Amino acid sequence: MTSSDDSSKTKTSDKKSDNSLAKRFIGLEKSIWIEFGALAIAHKAINVGQGFIDYAPPPYFIDLYKETLDDPNILLHQYTRGFGHRRLVDAISNVYSPYFNRKIDPLNEILVTDGAYPSIFNCIHGFMNPGDEAILIEPFYDCYEPMVRSAGGIPRCITLKQKPESTKADISSSSDWTLDKNELESMFNSRTRLIIVNTPNNPTGKVFTREELEHIANLCQKHDVICISDEVYEWIVYDKNKKHIRMATLPNMWERTLTIGSAGKTFSATGLKLGWTIGSQHLMHPCQVVHQNCVYTCPTISQEVIARCFEYELKRLNSPECYFNSISTEFLEKRDKLVQALKECGMKPVVPDGGYFIIADYSQFAGDKFQSDADDMKDFKFVRYLIKEKQLATIPVTGFYTADHRHLAENYIRFCFAKKDETLDKAIEILRKLKTN
């Protein structure tokens, strides 16, 4: 072997040992779920932060899981149809068609994925080219920004504005967080490819009104923009006067809306990690291409279980027993219990109209102990302190904002109340003790 052969060998192996992150992911390394999930476990904290239920899903869910595992059809243990198991897409079509006022084509208008995360990813990566803009409404579910950036897109952010009088109140409402219509209009331009709307919203609990959604819809039509409508909390709305409105059902919006759903949220079993996108065939194609080149097909057994769950609910859709109708009643008491306790502790909760999160202004509760600096926001510091020193896990709300707007939310932390009463009671006890110390 010559010395030149040796050097070329060294060069190649040098290149292979370059394990640095691909450029399109640089700057996207941090995740509140990774950091605070691990911290909560390490400190054995009472977890009222992350959005998962810590008690059993509806009883039929477990029964249908067992029934599916006992099914003699051995093909349930093999790959299934790439864009969604046949029985599941049929069930989704049967359940959702009446809510979308149209017959949803199970084979061409539904794409099943490994949760709402990849559904959103497929939509963003399926449509965005480098330099395209995506309008995000802050606070937004945190994965939207990195997904837009990794596609080479540019996030253009507009913040929900809290009505000034409500910031002073001891208790305010998520409906006090509104969009400035003119500002929103000014965000649209010839580079705008899509807008992401999340209703009911995570983290505020805001349920967008028909009027707000119509304004967004009109702008989408005027500027030929696609709407990704993240509706994973679609069944969790507390005030019957604030119905969940589906963007795709507004006039002329079926043609330009991709609606995202999550089995984890729908059946209170987040570990399932199954989700779907519903939209017209021409919009679905780019999403399918991303999916087939990344995931290809989702677990058959989980899809079969969810198909059976939907079939079960389909028979009682209009009855109060239907889980989609009873789930809000189940969470309402928990919401009110936590709101009351937060208020008594000196926090200012924003009462959510939907979803299962409460954001609360903790500034009076924590005093001057924590301050934002160049390295860190004060809500991050406060949340780390609560986990490490008090074994209580919550989520910092600045994690739902882009760097430029983070300061607007530094006084808020987010609580999840989809927890058993015992968990909520323990969390409340920790807060009460902390207050009196």
Among residues 273, 329, 270, 323, the alpha carbon closest in space to that of 58 is found at: 323
Cα(159)–Cα(146) distance, rounded to whole angstroms?
17
51 binds ligand PMP (CB under 6 A): yes
- One of 28, 33, 187, 343 touching ligand GLN (CB under 6 A): 33
Rule CB under 6 A: say whether 126 interacts with ligand PMP. Answer: no
Residue 342 interaction partner, one of ligand PMP, ligand GLN, none, beta carbon < 5-8 Å per kind? none
Q: Which does 230 bind (CB under 5 to 8 A by kind): ligand PMP, ligand GLN, none?
A: ligand PMP
Give the per-residue contact string, 255-284, with ligand PMP (x = CB under 6 A; - = no): -------x-xx----x--x-x---------
Q: What b/e sequence results for 327-358 when a residue is b if at least 16 CB atoms lie within 10 Å of its CB, and e otherwise?
A: bbeebeebbeebbebbeebbbbbbbbbbbbbb
Q: Does the footprint of ligand GLN cover residue 100 (CB under 6 A)?
A: no
> How many residues line the site for ligand PMP (CB under 6 A)?
15
Residues 81-120, mask of contacts with ligand PMP (x by CB under 6 A): ----------------------------------xxx---
Closer CB to ligand PMP, 106 or 139, in the complex: 139
| Residue 198 lies near ligand PMP (rule: CB under 6 A) | yes
Which residues, in sequence order, are CB contacts of 10 under 8 Å at separation 6+?
none
Residue nearest to ligand GLN (CB): 51
Q: Which is nearer to ligand GLN, 142 or 304 (CB)?
A: 142
CA pair distance 354, 276, nearest whole angstrom: 20
Q: Does 28 bind ligand GLN (CB under 6 A)?
A: no
Residue 202 is a binding residue for ligand GLN (CB under 6 A): yes
Query: How far is residue 105's CA from residue 278's CA, in Å, rounded to a whole number?
Result: 9
Q: Which of residues 206-235 bind ligand PMP (CB under 6 A)?
A: 230, 232
Q: Report the nearest approach of ligand PMP to the CB of residue 223 (Å).
A: 24
The residue whose Cβ lies closest to ligand PMP is 115
Which one, 51 or 146, has the nearer CB to ligand GLN? 51
Residue 51 binding ligand GLN, by CB under 6 A = yes
192 binds ligand GLN (CB under 6 A): no
Dihedral over Cα of 318, 324, 326, 332: its sign: negative
Q: Which of the listed partners (ligand PMP, ligand GLN, none) does 155 bind, with a CB threshold of 5 to 8 Å by partner kind?
A: none
CB 236 within 8 A of CB 199: no
Q: Is 77 exposed, middle or buried (0-12, 13-18, 19+ CB in 10 A)?
A: exposed
Give the closest residue to 46 by CA, choosing from 332, 381, 394: 394
What does DSSP say about strands 110-113 and 275-278: parallel, antiparallel, or unpaired? antiparallel
Is the separation of the CB atoms in 330 and 53 below 8 Å?
A: no
Q: Does 312 bind ligand GLN (CB under 6 A)?
A: no
CA atoms 336, 340, 346, 350: torsion sign: positive
Instruction: Give which of 353, 364, 399, 345 is closest to 50, Cα–Cα.
Output: 399
> For ligand PMP, which is the closer residue by CB, 106 or 115?
115
* Residue whose tokens read 């507009």: 158
50 binds ligand GLN (CB under 6 A): yes
Q: Which residues bind ligand PMP (CB under 6 A)?
A: 51, 115-117, 141, 198, 202, 230, 232, 262, 264-265, 270, 273, 275
Q: Which residues bind ligand GLN (CB under 6 A)?
A: 33, 50-51, 202
